Amino acid sequence: VDCYAAYLVTLANSSDNTTLIESLDGKENCNVVLEDRTFYRNNTWNTICLPFDTEIAGSPLEGADVRTLSGITREGETVTLIFSDEGTINEIKAGRPYIIKWDNTESLVEPLFTGVTIDKTKRDIVCVIDNDVPGSPSIGVTFKGTYSYIAFTDTDDSILFVGATNRLNYPLSGATIGAQKAFFQLEGITANAAISGVKRYVLDFGEDNPTIIHEIANDNSADGEWYDINGRKLSGKPSLRGVYIQNDKKVLVK
């Protein structure tokens, strides 16, 4: 009888695991631990992207509601990301990003997946729709997995991620996304300005499931239109120092 010891692979939450995963591509019978990773099983959504296939039943993910992006739509000022496949996903595919949650139970800390085969293939999900604003680019959303820790040194409004309290945010300076997680890359639209008329983003999980919404703050609707001193309309509140016109009054921006 041939006996082969399982190969232990540690994927860190706060470093880049890409080179390690590439070097182990195709290696069988691996036991993979997600070091320093905690899944909060408190009815909030977690994202996950793993470099191996695994059945959900019998794995540390057993009992989770597992979804992935199945499409996007636009209606007026709202772009909706659709996650309507409740109960239909029984297996995690290598390199594919997912969003998962459990009902209220104790947290899952540093889960260990046993007997898996490493697969470096990335399977990001790309969704593109036409923009109904003439002359504007198509609207695209890519659900992307990452095997490396991402630290943002500046605001990046081309990205949306699901925060710890089921909030949909774009990263400000100092924000981080851990390895083996996922985020949304935006194309032709941003999460910080009403580009092409898009003012809100909605994650739709189907009937009887609450949505997650990111609403763009709109300076014009809150404070009135802004104009320069020559009467030219501006796209929003000016950032440069000077005298401007707002609500028919001169305003000094310092």
Domain shared by 20 and 135, yes or no: yes
Query: pLDDT tens-digit profile of 37-46?
Result: 999 898 889 9
3-state secondary structure (DSSP) of residue 29: coil
Domain shared by 245 and 163, yes or no: no
Domain shared by 74 and 195, yes or no: yes
Domain extent at residue 236: 219-253
Domain shared by 226 and 130, yes or no: no
With respect to residue 2, please indicate whether it lies within any of the assigned structural domains: no
Query: pLDDT tens-digit profile of 137-175?
Result: 788 899 999 999 999 998 888 899 987 677 788 888 888
Domain shared by 14 and 86, yes or no: yes
Hey, what are 217's tokens? 């703050």
Domain shared by 185 and 69, yes or no: yes
3-state secondary structure (DSSP) of residue 129: strand
With respect to residue 131, please indicate whether it lies within any of the assigned structural domains: yes
- The residues, any chain, with a CB within 8 Å of residue 204's CB and separated by 6 or more, are 80, 81, 82, 83, 84, 211
- The residues, any chain, with a CB within 8 Å of residue 166's CB and separated by 6 or more, are 44, 45, 210, 212
With respect to residue 1, please indicate whether it lies within any of the assigned structural domains: no
Domain shared by 125 and 246, yes or no: no
- Count of structural domains within the chain: 2
**pLDDT cut 70: percent of the chain above it:** 83
Domain shared by 172 and 231, yes or no: no
